[in-house]
């Protein structure tokens, strides 16, 4: 891709996930550093991004919008209403707006900006090492060629899945957005359990992580239902049978379901609150 063909991307909000996307775009050669702009409230953060990635970074949100073809909203949810009001006069008809803000629905962003072409994405933490999972959707006004460009951008962070129903992005917030923290919590608990029965901390860490990685790869490679894999390693009266019995007694699956349901309901609550905030600001 020549520099003239490279897309100009601006990030309003320069936090961790914005930098993850910037790193992916540069590492995969999607666009050169001088085609990327980022803004945030702190000049020291802008200086750090300039030094680390060679991009154009400042505290000026409007400069980002003026230079970009694609505007990525990456601000904190509580500042969204104010930022939308600030950006609205500078959003052009040819802009594509992408949001990675948890809970922020496309309708509220389109209304707040008076701009119909909006993409909503839910990336997750492993995007930091380009092994992430991003669930995304788009309004009808985002044409198929533009959606392919979005897909290409998101693939710089790992895998991506387009969903036609926006509610699936809220569900993804609970599952793949919250999932890394839940899995990390599980890893810590399993390491602690291994240490409790006498394994050293270094041995527990290495064996637990490789067991999880290997099991995930086995599930991906297998065409069998995951329940069959569980049955395949569970002998009557054996060690796995005893361990699973204890998990069932502790309502392991039910507690996990309750946790994901709580995260999903919170995502919906956040969306409702943002809707109200933007309506209040516009009125």
pLDDT at 1 over 50: no
Which pLDDT value is given to residue 275?
87
Task: Give the residue with greater pLDDT, 271 vs 281.
Answer: 271
The confidence band for 215, taking pLDDT boundaries of 50, 70 and 90, is very high
In this structure, the strands spanning 9-12 and 36-39 are: parallel
Q: Is the pTM of this model over 0.95?
A: no
Give the pLDDT score at 244: 93
- Residue that is written with structure tokens 């694609």 in the block: 70
DSSP letter for each residue of the chain: --TTTSPPEEEES-SHHHHHHHHHHHHTTSS-GGGEEEE-S-HHHHHHHHHHH--EEES-HHHHHHH-SEEEE-S-GGGHHHHHHHHGGG--TT-EEEE--TT--HHHHHHHHT---EEEEE--GGGGGT-EEEEEEE-TTS-HHHHHHHHHHHGGGEEEEE-SSTHHHHHHIIIIITHHHHHHHHHHHHHHHHHHTT--HHHHHHHHHHHHHHHHHHHHH--S-HHHHHHHH--TTSHHHHHHHHHHHTTHHHHHHHHHHHHHHHHHHHHHHHHHHHHHHH-
Q: Cβ distance 52 to 35 under 8 Å? A: no
Report residue 188 as tokens.
């810590």
Cβ atoms of 54 and 80 within 8 Å: the answer is no
Backbone angles phi, psi at 71, to 5 degrees: -110, 120
Tens of pLDDT along 58-111? 999 999 999 999 999 999 999 999 999 999 999 999 999 999 999 999 999 999
Q: Are strands 118-122 and 132-138 parallel, antiparallel or unpaired?
A: antiparallel
- For 14-38, write each residue's pLDDT tens digit: 999 999 999 999 999 889 999 999 9
Q: How far apart are CA 55 and CA 51, in angstroms?
A: 8
On average, the pLDDT of the chain sits at 93
What structural domains does the chain harbor?
9-167 (3.40.50.720), 179-250 (1.10.3730.10)
Residue 199 pLDDT exceeds 90: yes
What's the CA gap between 37 and 11, in Å, rounded? 6
pLDDT in tens, 218-246: 999 988 899 998 998 999 999 999 999 99
Instruction: Give pLDDT, residue 4.
Output: 54
Question: Per-residue confidence at 5, pLDDT binned at 50, 70, 90?
Answer: low
């Amino acid at each position: 891709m020549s520099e003239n063909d490279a897309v100009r991307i601006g990030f309003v909000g320069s936090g961790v996930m914005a930098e993850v996307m910037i790193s992916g775009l540069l590492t995969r050669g999607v666009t050169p550093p001088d085609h990327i702009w980022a803004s945030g409230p702190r000049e020291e953060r802008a200086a750090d991004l300039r030094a680390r990635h060679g991009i154009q970074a400042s505290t000026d949100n409007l400069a980002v919008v003026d230079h970009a073809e694609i505007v990525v909203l990456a601000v904190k949810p509580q500042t969204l209403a104010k930022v939308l009001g600030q950006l609205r006069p500078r959003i052009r008809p040819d802009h594509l707006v992408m949001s990675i803000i948890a809970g922020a629905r496309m309708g509220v962003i389109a209304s707040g900006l008076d701009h119909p072409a909006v993409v909503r994405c839910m990336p997750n933490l492993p995007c930091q090492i380009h092994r992430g999972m991003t669930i995304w959707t788009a309004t009808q006004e985002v044409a198929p060629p533009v959606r392919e460009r979005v897909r290409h951008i998101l693939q710089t962070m790992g895998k991506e899945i387009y969903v036609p129903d926006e509610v699936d992005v809220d569900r993804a917030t609970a599952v793949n957005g919250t999932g890394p923290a839940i899995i990390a919590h599980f890893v810590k608990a399993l390491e602690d359990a291994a240490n409790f029965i006498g394994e050293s901390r270094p041995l527990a860490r290495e064996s637990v992580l490789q067991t999880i990685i290997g099991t995930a790869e086995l599930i991906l490679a297998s065409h069998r239902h995951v329940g069959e894999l569980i049955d395949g390693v569970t002998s009557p009266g054996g060690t796995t049978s005893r361990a699973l019995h204890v998990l069932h007694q502790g309502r392991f699956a039910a507690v996990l379901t309750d946790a994901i349901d709580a995260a999903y309901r919170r995502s919906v609550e956040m969306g409702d609150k943002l809707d109200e905030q933007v309506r209040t600001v516009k009125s």
